[in-house]
Amino acid sequence: MSAPEEPTGQNDAMNRPAGPSGGDPARGASSAALKGAVLIGLAIVIGLVLLRQVADNTSTAAAKSTTTKPKTTTTKPKEHSTTTTTVPITPPKTPAEVKLIVLNGGAQSGKAGTMSDSLRHAGYTNQAQANDWTGHHQTGNTVMCKPGLDREAVALSQQTALQGSTVMPWPTPAPPTYGYTADCVVVVGA
């Protein structure tokens, strides 16, 4: 038998695995194996992260897609019951339309006249002459308007001269109006 041929330099380069030039072929193979293992490990970590993300999204989507059915309740109406909603039909009266009287209810003499003048300048021109409410004494100012004139009472109480006054319902017996048919009465107190 003949002896095996020794590789020549040219053939030797063709049979050697690719690796760093001039290096050991075994070292190039172990370096490639190490790189492959790192890439596989990285792929596994990325896969686990993606699986966890998909699992979280699936449970969130399942939670979001859970629907509750609305409850239906039936109530039997009471016999002979009615519901009434009261909406003002007429617009509120303007200050000039409100029939007003100012009474002194314990304030210094002349204060009712001063209040009447202030309200007249604010547009409340439909007024009887200011007067005294004999025998009545109160602290602070009040505004009282007939039933159905609640909006007018609030508007009147917000005038500069009446800031801080109390809005009260129309009393029984009514305050004196001295023959004047008043919609609202302003009482100036001490």
CATH number of the domain that residue 131 is part of? 3.30.70.2390
pTM, whole model, 2 decimals? 0.54
Same domain, 168 and 112: yes
Q: Residues near 164 by Cβ (< 8 Å), separated by ≥ 6?
A: 140, 141
Residue pLDDT, tens place only, 118-167: 999 999 999 999 999 999 999 999 999 999 999 999 999 999 999 999 99
Same domain, 40 and 106: no
Q: Residues near 171 by Cβ (< 8 Å), separated by ≥ 6?
A: 144
Same domain, 40 and 116: no
Q: Residues near 118 by Cβ (< 8 Å), separated by ≥ 6?
A: 159, 160, 161
As a whole number of Å, the CA-based R_g of the chain is: 49
User: What's the confidence (pLDDT) of residue 63?
Assistant: 53
Q: How many domains does the chain have?
A: 2
Domain assignment present for 120: yes
Same domain, 114 and 181: yes
Which structural domain range is residue 39 located in? 28-58
Rounded to whole angstroms, how far apart are CA atoms 175 and 104? 11
The DSSP bridge partners found for residue 101 are: 185
Domain assignment present for 1: no
Domain assignment present for 16: no
Same domain, 101 and 183: yes
Q: Between 81 and 132, whose confidence is greater? A: 132
